[in-house]
Amino acid sequence: MKRTIGIVGARGHTGAELIRLVAAHPGFELAFVSSRELAGQPVRDHVAGYDGALRYENLSHEDVAANGADAVVLALPNGKSAELVDGIDVAKPDTVVVDLSADHRFDDGWYYGLPELTRGAYAGERRISNPGCYATAMQLAVAPLKDVLAAPPACFGVSGYSGAGTTPTDRNDPEKLRDNLMPYALTDHVHEREVTRRLGVPVEFMPHVAPHFRGITMTVNLWLAQASTREAIKARYASFYAGEPLVRVVDEAPWVSAIAGRHHAEIGGFALAPGGKRVVVVATLDNLLKGAATQAMQNLNLAFGFDELTAIPEPSPGWKPGPGDS
C-alpha cells in the first residue's frame, strides 16, 4: 500500500517541484495539494510533467489535520506553520510533517534534515525541519573544514529570484533585477543564525539576488589554523563526501547555470592564497531542488524507510565527471 502525501502551499515554485517528485515515487501518492489561490483548478494545468487528476483545494487547518495523510509537507512562508502543526498533533500525531520554512530549524524537538550531515542522528522523528536553501549550500561548503578554521567563514551568496517566492517583491521582480545584483539582510540573516547553530561555528553571510530564475552560488572565504595545500584541501572534501551521490566535488569553481534543474550540489574552486592559510570554496545548488524539494524527498524517504534517492533522478542529466572531478 502506498503512503499518502499532502502538500500545503502547493502554488509556489517549490510546491510544483514537490508535486513532480511525489508523483514519480513508486511508494507515495498525493493525497491533496492545498492552495487558496488555485482552488478547484487541475494540478496538471500548472505543473508540467504531472498528468494526474488531482485538483488544488483550499483546505482549512482543520481540513489538513483531519485528512489523515501519512505525511504533510508544509511549503509555507515563515511564521505560518504553527496552527497546522498543532492541529496535526491533535488529530493524527503520528503523521510525518516536513516543514520547509524556518519555523522549526531552531527547535530541538524537530529533526533537522540535511541528510549528508545529519542522517546519522535520525531516530524515527515524525517532525522534520528542512534546511534553508542558502543554509544547505553554506553548510556543505564549510563542513569539511569546520574543525580546522581560524576565523568565521565569510559567505557571499547569490540566489536566483525564485528564492524570493511568488508573492511580488523587489527581490523577484525581473525588471528591477535586470542588469542588477540586489544585496539584502546583510547581517543577522536567519540562514546565518541557522548555519552558526548547526555547524557550531560562527559564520558571516551576505545574501544577494540576481536576475536568473533559479540556482544558488555560494562563495566562501575560509581561514585555516594551519597552512595547507590545494591538493590536500580538495582531497579532504572528496573524502568527506565520498559515497554522497547528491554532492559532487569538482575541480573548477562550479557555475550556477550548470546546476539549474538538477538535484545535486557541486563544490569546487579550492583557490588557495599565498601562505596556504586562506582558501576560497564555491558551492552551487538549485534552490528549489537540493535547497528545498529534493531535500524534502530525501527526508520523506528516510522517514518511511525507502532508499534515500527513490524518485530523485540520479545521476543528474548531462553530468559527466571532468578531469580531476570525483
**Omega before 313 within 30 of 0, i.e. cis:** no
Within the chain, which residues score under 50 in pLDDT?
A: 316-326
pLDDT value of position 175: 76
Which residue pairs from 176-179 have beta carbons closer than 8 angstroms and sit at least 24 positions apart in sequence?
A: 177/209, 177/210, 177/211, 178/211, 179/211
Q: What is the pLDDT of residues 203-262, one digit of tens each?
A: 999 999 998 889 999 999 999 999 999 999 999 999 999 999 999 999 999 999 999 999
- CA 107, distance to chain mean position in Å, is 18
Handedness of CA 308, 314, 319, 324 (dihedral sign): positive
pLDDT value of position 165: 62
pLDDT value of position 1: 86
DSSP letter (8 states) at residue 149: B
* C-alpha distances in Å from residue 113, one per residue of 6, 110, 124, 198: 19, 9, 12, 11
pLDDT value of position 317: 43
**CA gap 282, 254 in Å, rounded:** 7
pLDDT value of position 314: 65
Pairing of the two strands 216-223 and 278-285: antiparallel
pLDDT value of position 66: 87
Supply φ then ψ for residue 186, to 5 degrees: -80, -10
Q: Identify whether the C-beta of residue 201 lies closer than 8 Å to the C-beta of residue 153.
A: yes
- Name the residue among 46, 13, 49, 15 with its Cα closest to residue 32: 15
**CA gap 28, 23 in Å, rounded:** 7
**CA gap 171, 98 in Å, rounded:** 26
Supply φ then ψ for residue 212, to 5 degrees: -75, 160
- Name the residue among 50, 45, 60, 51 with its Cα closest to residue 8: 60
**CA gap 220, 217 in Å, rounded:** 10
Q: What is the pTM of this model?
A: 0.92
Hey, which residues does 220 pair with through a beta bridge? 155, 281
> Of residues 8, 133, 155, 302, which has the active-site annotation?
133
133: annotated active-site residue: yes
Cell of 262: 538538477
Q: Identify whether the C-beta of residue 182 lies closer than 8 Å to the C-beta of residue 189.
A: no
Supply φ then ψ for residue 137, to 5 degrees: -60, -45
**CA gap 298, 312 in Å, rounded:** 8
pLDDT value of position 325: 35
